[in-house]
Amino acid sequence: MKLAGLKSFENAHDESIWAATWVPATETRSALLLTGSLDETVKLWKPDDLILQRTNTGHCLGVVSVAAHPSGHFAASASLDSFVRVFDVDTNNTLANLEAPPSEVWQMQFDPRGTILAVAGGGSASVKLWDTATWNLVATLSIPRPEAAKPSEKNSSKKFVLSVAWSPDGRRLACGSMDGTISVFDVGPSDDAHVHMYDAEGKTLVGAMSGHSSWVLSVDVSPDGTAIATGSSDRTVRLWDIGMRAAVQTMSNHADQVWGVAFGPAGGPGRLASVSDDKSISLYDFS
């Protein structure tokens, strides 16, 4: 497996871009790339040539995360204004507003069936699950702290949960935290400077991978389930082979920390997009 750079778009937003996701095609339109920025906007792009299709507004502070429903008909954006806004992709009509405490809404992703929206809970050290039929909060999944740590200790603050990504079969949830750790299991991340892999059902450790030199800010799983892409404050994008349990490639397209990575939808050409504090979007071929 490998990545090859296709195109980079500088100054895609007016401020840092912290979020990206792909909106699946529908009966009436092709797939779109969705980005969210600290400029308070969400933008929709024609993927391969990165042509802007529309700019959506609706938040009063910067957008830190975007997620698209598997149907392609609606999506969600999370903002520093402490709201998750669920909206119709084609009309930008608001379908629901989900309120959260400050600093407790970061990266989000719908499960493959589209029934649950998982939201990384930031400083709450938890992952929150929302039912997409009712938009009710159905579970708050707390992330275990190290046995030696107490809530008052400095290292306990490193359990700031930043990112989430479901595996294609919906049995695994990959989560990234501020301590540079990625965990792949059913409900949350771990705590040391490695990439951890957990069995989704038994939560038993099956491997560890190291690579990034600083915080892991974003994570996504490839549609075929064989690879993980991560973005970090070390300004790199890394491609990980799940079978080999190792990083197989590092991309250094960005001049600042990488807040978002997103694989293109299954069935289309293999694509990966990354977005950064440098206000740019990078598009890669994934094969």
What would the pLDDT profile of 132-181 be if each residue is shown by its tens digit? 999 999 877 776 665 555 554 444 445 787 777 777 777 677 766 776 56
Indicate which CATH number applies to the domain containing 175: 2.130.10.10
Domain membership of residue 258 (yes or no) is yes
- How far apart, in whole angstroms, are the C-alpha atoms of residue 138 and residue 119? 12
pTM, rounded to two decimals: 0.79
Domain membership of residue 78 (yes or no) is yes
Half-sphere exposure of 169 toward its Cβ, with a 13 Å CA cutoff?
8
3-class DSSP assignment, residue 155: helix
Domain membership of residue 151 (yes or no) is no
Q: Cβ neighbours of residue 65 under 8 Å, at least 6 residues apart? A: 18, 19, 36, 77, 78, 105, 106, 107, 108, 119, 120
* Residue 256 C-alpha from the chain's centroid: 17
Domain membership of residue 194 (yes or no) is no
Residue-wise pLDDT for 20-75, tens only, equals 999 999 999 899 999 999 999 999 999 878 999 999 888 889 999 899 999 999 99
Domain membership of residue 13 (yes or no) is yes
Structural domain count of the chain: 1
Domain membership of residue 81 (yes or no) is yes
Full residue range of the structural domain in which residue 74 is found: 3-143+157-187+210-286
